[in-house]
Chains A and B, each alone.
Chain A
Amino acid sequence: MTREEIVAQIKERLGAKIVDFHEKSAKRYYVEVRPEDVPEATRLIHKELGARFQIASGVDTPTAIEILYHWAFDQQGFVVTIRTKLDREHPEIESVSSICTGTEWIEREMWELLGVHFKNHPDLRHLLLDDNWPEGKYPLRRDYEK
């Protein structure tokens, strides 16, 4: 499959579930979907289109907690980032580790550093921080003025 075919597949299969589609360059695509559509997007991009999971970046912004799942298409040489925005008060999303095991550790990391709850994660416990780390303290959260 060529890059154009893969991009067309993503657009067609996710259809109305795409909130925003941004082609930054021929090597970088950003696709925003709603949190509930992340598992479907993951299944499509990893299981069917064969992308390799690179990592996920969690970003605390004034309006939402953003999670960006970066997927590499190595044969075609480009990166697709699936972006989703979570509610800052109750950040919660379905774990995708049952679809791709490679996401298991980073979900644990985002859980402890950013306070995002990953539903149905097989092993949601501290990865980098001490087990005695106080609850509700998230090092990568920011105190934005309301």
Chain B
Amino acid sequence: MAKTTIVPIGPYHALQEEPEFFKLHVEGEKVVHLDIELGYNHRGIEKLSESKTFEETVFLVERICGICSCSHPIACVQAVEDAGDIEVPERALYIRSTIGELERIHSHLLWLGLAGHFLGFNTVWMWSWRYREDVLDILELISGNRNHYAMMKPGGVRRDIKAEDLPAIRKMLDGLKGPINLFKGAVIDDPLIHARTEGVGVLTKAQAIDYCVVGPTARASGVAIDVRRDHPHAAYGLVDWDVVVMQHGDVYDKAIVRVLEMFESIRIIEQCLEKLKTVPGPVDSNPKEVKPGEGIGHYEAPRGEVFHYIRSDGSNRPARHKVRAPSFMNVVSNRVAVLGETVADATIILAAVDPCYCCTERMAVVDAGTGRKVLSSQELIRLSQEKTERLKKELGHEGPKLKLER
């Protein structure tokens, strides 16, 4: 019988630099089982929320995640609005979608950069993060913050997007199309990226349905779900855009879905900006109370559906507030996606669902018994990058050519 070795990645996740513990059970180079431990970042947000007013709760859930910091607020205010039957003015809907899509673009660029780095293409990393900065600057222009925009509130949004800011947003979006096109070309045309990602870490459609995965992870496996289209909210039912779906469920398809989604996000924002020129205010219906009842709010975050359930007993605080982040459904699917793959590929497979640990958590002890090999972050990235170097030599190819202009 082959000897099984446990390769622990974590508890401080070596790749994403967040607290998470993956135990890879390997036979030789092959992964035969994956055990996931989480809880290192458990902050008790759901319990804390019961001590906040409905307005304060939005600020609290905004701090669940630093990357998709408007996804939780949108889902949360929609849950409150569902519970209390609160109306939202039309202009606020366009502003919600504008902020949401700007966030999606910067989040996907962040993932693309990290994926490039893990595979050994640091040029991709540097360039995609450079263009992410432009998006963050625009968010700062609109909200005053690069992240944690504090835009959402039950009944609308906290501040308007000023007419004089519209041209700057437009200009930034126009400047982004060229670079995203280049990234698309780099992923689609490059034989090395194909070799490293195609057929790697496959999550089949049946598995995706059984594990109930969401977002790009589901859409890359042929499950055509997108909360923005399926359960229209904010302005998504009022503008024209497409859901990007791929069929193979491998790392390659997950990358393609994210790259193509950025174009759709730009389309959505452009239409919202046009509407903002003509649709008048107000941007807030100013609800005074939330009547007793229960409500569900869900929103398509960059990583998939964010889900909030709120129960109101008629007071000004939630009686119960349940939060479910997309990674809670996606991370567990690694258990099947990583089976039979090598340790060098596990690096990119575990990163391909774009996991967000601070979202999923809301503790464990390393049992470093004898005979266990511990790999550090540098070693894991080195393993992955070495494989790319080997392939470079075999294919006689230097990797994606990126000629970007500032």
Contacts and interface: CB of A to CB of B under 8 A. Distances in A.
B42 A129 contact: yes
Given A30-B294, A53-B212, 13 more contacts: A28-B296, A54-B305, A72-B230, A72-B231, A74-B230, A77-B231, A78-B231, A126-B39, A128-B39, A129-B363, A130-B39, A130-B364, A140-B47
Interface in B306-360: 307, 309, 311, 319-320, 322, 324, 328-329, 332
B296 A79 contact: yes
A109 B332 CA distance: 14
A105 interface: yes
A57 interface: yes
A100 interface: yes
B39 A70 contact: no
A128 B40 CA distance: 7
B44 interface: yes
B47 A54 contact: no
A139 B47 contact: yes
Interface residues of B, number: 38
30 contacts: A24-B294, A25-B82, A28-B82, A28-B295, A52-B212, A52-B225, A54-B298, A54-B305, A54-B324, A55-B322, A57-B309, A57-B320, A57-B322, A58-B322, A59-B320, A68-B309, A74-B227, A74-B231, A75-B230, A79-B296, A79-B298, A102-B210, A102-B213, A105-B332, A106-B324, A128-B38, A128-B362, A131-B365, A139-B44, A140-B46
Interface in B270-311: 293-296, 298, 305, 307, 309, 311
A70 B44 contact: no
Contacts of B149: none
Given A81-B296, A139-B47, A128 B42 contact: yes
Contacts of A11: none
Contacts of B364: 130-131
A127 interface: yes
In this complex, the member of B44, B47, B298, B324 whose beta carbon has the largest number of chain A beta carbons within 10 angstroms is B324
Contact of B232 (A57, A77, A81, A127): A77
Of the listed residues A57, A58, A129, the one surrounded by the most CB atoms of chain B closer than 10 A to its CB is A57
Interface string A98-134: 0011101110000000000000000000111111100
A81 B357 CA distance: 27
A27 interface: yes
Q: Which of A27, A58, A75, A101 has the most CB of B within 10 A?
A: A101
Contacts of A58: 322
Nearest to A99: B210
B211 interface: yes
B90 interface: no
Interface string A19-34: 0000011011010000
Nearest to A58: B322
Interface of A: 24-25, 27-28, 30, 52-55, 57-59, 68, 70, 72, 74-75, 77-79, 81, 100-102, 104-106, 126-132, 139-140
Nearest to A129: B39
Interface in B186-225: 209-213, 225
Interface of B: 38-39, 42, 44, 46-47, 82, 209-213, 225, 227, 230-232, 293-296, 298, 305, 307, 309, 311, 319-320, 322, 324, 328-329, 332, 361-365
Nearest to A22: B294
B76 to A, nearest CB: 14
B307 A70 contact: yes
B230 A77 contact: yes
Contacts of A77: 230-232
Closest 5 CB pairs of A and B: A102-B212, A57-B322, A128-B39, A130-B363, A55-B324
Contacts of A68: 309
A72 B225 CA distance: 10
A74 B39 contact: no
Nearest to B298: A54
Nearest to A60: B320
B75 to A, nearest CB: 11
Contacts of B230: 72, 74-75, 77
Given A127-B39, A139-B44, A100 B210 contact: yes
A101 B362 CA distance: 21
A59 B309 CA distance: 11
Contacts of A126: 39
A4 B385 CA distance: 53
A10 B253 CA distance: 36
B328 to A, nearest CB: 7
B222 to A, nearest CB: 14
Contacts of B211: 101-102
Contacts of A57: 309, 320, 322
